[in-house]
A and B are shown apart, each in its own frame.
Chain A
């Protein structure tokens, strides 16, 4: 090359700060805003009231002994509801993908209905309306909670499963069919295993939502041995010292369940993403 090196011709005008300097200034501003916000919250809080009315360590310690049972019942109701919701949701997902229009309509109506009304109403219906309408009395608390919450969650699970099944690439189905595999065999051996991997993270997330929804079942009225976390927390509110402490203790117990599940969801998501890249 014999041409002289060219210098970049900057447009005329005031010399601007470099992008790096501007990014640095923006970051400093963000830290200052954050520090100011934290300081404001700390100074505005009435700490003496907080320790007696919101989180009284002595009351919290006393409550902690009753929490294992509440945790166990919460987990039981969650798993019971999931055990109802997963098969029912799978059935609805297949109905929604059916070639028979009537099945699709029924599934769509069911899903839209139960996603559209508050879970609270379903819990109350199972507890009080169903016994009147059908003359059946569901004996156990676990069964009532599982049916009520399972019916609601099946609507969400159905949509998750349907999306997972449809996310399996078309080419996978074509490859299986071109080998002479029937529609059903393709579904079982090729589509379902791959769909299952896709839906694992959202299904775990569904369990988190279910865990929180078990806080509704105390409305059905329960024996002491059936108390889940929210019921224990509410009871303690009216009886014990320490103001709202019981609610905070109950909240912490939910986090014991939901935080690890959240971790699990993210781990599964990362794993699925890695698989996708590997393809």
Chain B
């Protein structure tokens, strides 16, 4: 499982459905992500993009459909999901750093407990990744002392310390003050340039357009439009995509539909 399947597909989602009680949030999603690809998922709130992302590492249990991650079928009831998650990093909107641990310990806890790395090895990896996100000097701070942007970069370093083959980003900049968004997006851009396979749920259209290899527009539990970033954001074919992008890119303008 440590080597990607021969066809280079890292994530494969087929006919994914997910319901919360009566409410069907995902209504048949198909998605393929190739190794090294950066896929940005955009769409209005409530469209199911976060749920889709959370189904990939099984933080949400799909109602039906099939998901393969790194050659392992995670929708198999007997899957060793902890083992799959070791190779799949996730970054949350609310950072979710462990508040009772230092920045360094945040980055070493799972390395030591799950990957069984020695303390020295884990700290070496953690510091290298903190260096990568520009926060090696804050290794001994506790999360409460950091700004939101710094916390999110630590969260990225924490995920990277597990040497993941896939990174999931769930609206990583939505909880940040506007002036802190750039630092986090910069780290993500570097990561993409380094060849990381990424699925990014985001409202940052400029980032999606510049960094994303492919953009997926979701609405109402379905993939409405998917294609190269320039095409989906620059010249959307579907009416719903056009309406959404108009609202996002030009929010003060009066639109006929309101």
Binding site for B on A (CB under 8 A): 169, 171-172, 174-182, 185, 189-190, 193-194, 197, 275, 278-279
B117 close to chain A: CB less than 8 A: no
Which residues of chain B are within 8 angstroms of A178 by Cβ–Cβ distance?
57, 59, 85, 88-90, 159
Interface residues of B (CB under 8 A from A): 57, 59, 82-83, 85-86, 88-90, 92, 94, 96-100, 109-110, 113-114, 142-145, 155, 158-159, 162
Give the shortest distance, in Å, between B217 (CB) and chain A (any CB): 25
Alpha-carbon separation in the docked complex, A178 to B110 (Å): 10
Answer whether A180 and B82 are a contact pair too, CB < 8 Å, given A278-B144, A279-B143.
Answer: yes
Most A C-beta atoms less than 10 A away, residue of B59, B96, B142, B145: B96
Task: Identify B92's interface contact among A175, A278, A279, CB under 8 A.
Answer: A175
Query: Of B82, B90, B94, B144, which one neighbours A182 at CB under 8 angstroms?
Result: B82
Chain B residues, CB < 8 A from A176? 98, 110
Please measure, in the bound complex, the distance between the C-alpha atom of A181 and the C-alpha atom of B115, giving whole angstroms.
Answer: 10
- How far in angstroms is the closest Cβ of chain A from B87? 8
Using Cβ atoms and an 8 Å threshold, which residues of chain B touch A197? 100
Which residues in A have their C-beta under 8 angstroms from that of B109?
179, 181, 189
- Distance of A176 Cα from B155 Cα, bound (Å): 11
Please tell me if the beta carbons of A179 and B85 are within 8 angstroms of each other in the complex: yes
What 4 A-B pairs are tightest by C-beta distance, nearest first?
A278-B144, A180-B86, A179-B110, A175-B96
User: Are A279 and B110 in touch, CB under 8 angstroms?
Assistant: no
Q: Does B98 lie within 8 Å of A181, measured CB to CB?
A: no
Interchain CA distance A275-B144 in the complex, whole Å: 8
Name 20 A/B residue pairs within 8 A (Cβ), A-sorted.
Answer: A174-B92, A175-B90, A175-B97, A175-B155, A176-B98, A177-B85, A178-B59, A178-B89, A178-B159, A179-B86, A179-B110, A179-B159, A180-B83, A180-B86, A180-B110, A180-B114, A180-B162, A190-B98, A194-B99, A275-B99
